Every structure is written in C-alpha cells, then in structure tokens.
Amino acid sequence: MSYQLSERKKVGLGLIVCGILFTFLGVILFFDRGLLALGNILCLSGVALILGWRSTWQLFTRRMNYKGSVPFLAGLLLIFVRWPIAGIVLEIYGSIILFGGFWPSVKAFLFQIPIVGWILQYQFLFLDRMRRSFG
C-alpha cells in the first residue's frame, strides 16, 4: 500500500513537524510561552492542511470528540495566559484522546518510509515475538 501526498499535505506535514520541534524547544527551554504557542499554532494549521478545514472543524466540534477537544483547547488557552506547564499537560491529554484514532493510519504511513519503516517494523516484530514466547 502506497500513500500519495499532495503538495498541500506535504506542507501540512512540514508544519506539524515544525510545530513539534518548536513545542519540544519550548519545553526544553523551561516552558517558553512563545515557542509553545508558536508550536501549537503550527501543529493546528498543519492538521488543518492535511485533513482540510471543514474536516478539522468537524473533528474539534463533534459531540463524541468533546472529551479530547475541550482539554486540548483549554490547554492552548492556558499557554496563552502564561500557565505553560498546566497547558502542556492538558494539551497532551487532549491530543491523546482526540488523535488516538489516527494511530493505525500513522503507523501504516511510517512503515512506508524506508529507514524509519524498517526500524519500526523490526521493533514491532521483536515485541510480537516476545509476546508470543511469554503468552
């Protein structure tokens, strides 16, 4: 199975990677509020470019996704009002709940990348063998 990425999705993926980088730098630099806010804005715009604006809006406003979108957006607000540690904790929780359903697609995409895919497949094969030997 091969994934074809349009130019818009490539830009969105790049924005997400830059957003993760800025967020990581913000955490490393003692929860720098500016870097964390910039990382969040880049990640959200990247998700909007990959999924589309309407699908992104529906992702955050669907009734069944409120459990993840409310903490995520509350964490974003806390970062903007200078409570970065509490904001990051809420955002991580919200991200796990909100984007947890995308993991199978992300895993399939990562397996297609030449070097990263080989490393990940080896790790999953190793864990599967360990599970079979103990189970």
- Residues 41-73: pLDDT tens digits? 999 999 999 989 999 999 899 999 999 999 999
Q: Tell me whether residue 126 is in a domain.
A: no
Q: What is the mean pLDDT of residues 31-35?
A: 92
Q: What is the mean pLDDT of residues 104-114?
A: 80
Q: Between 118 and 31, where is the model more confident? A: 31
Domain limits at 29?
A: 7-101
In a domain, 115, yes or no: no
Q: Establish if 85 belongs to a structural domain.
A: yes
Global pTM reads 0.73
Give counts: helices (H), strands (E), the chain.
7, 0
Give the model's pLDDT for residue 135: 58
For the residues 92-108, what does the mean pLDDT come to? 85
How many residues does the structure list for the chain?
A: 135
The set of residues, in sequence order, having a beta carbon less than 8 Å from that of 66 and lying 6+ positions away, is none
- For the four alpha carbons of 103, 26, 74 and 86, in that order, the dihedral sign comes to positive
Residue 34 lies in a domain: yes
Distances (CA, A) of 68 to 4, 58, 101, 105, 129: 29, 13, 11, 19, 34
- Number of separate domains in the chain: 1
Q: Does residue 12 carry a pLDDT above 60?
A: yes
Q: What is the pLDDT of residue 3?
A: 62
- Confidence class for position 20, pLDDT limits 50, 70, 90: very high
Count the neighbouring beta carbons within 10 Å of the beta carbon of residue 120. 14
Structure tokens, 59: 């992702």
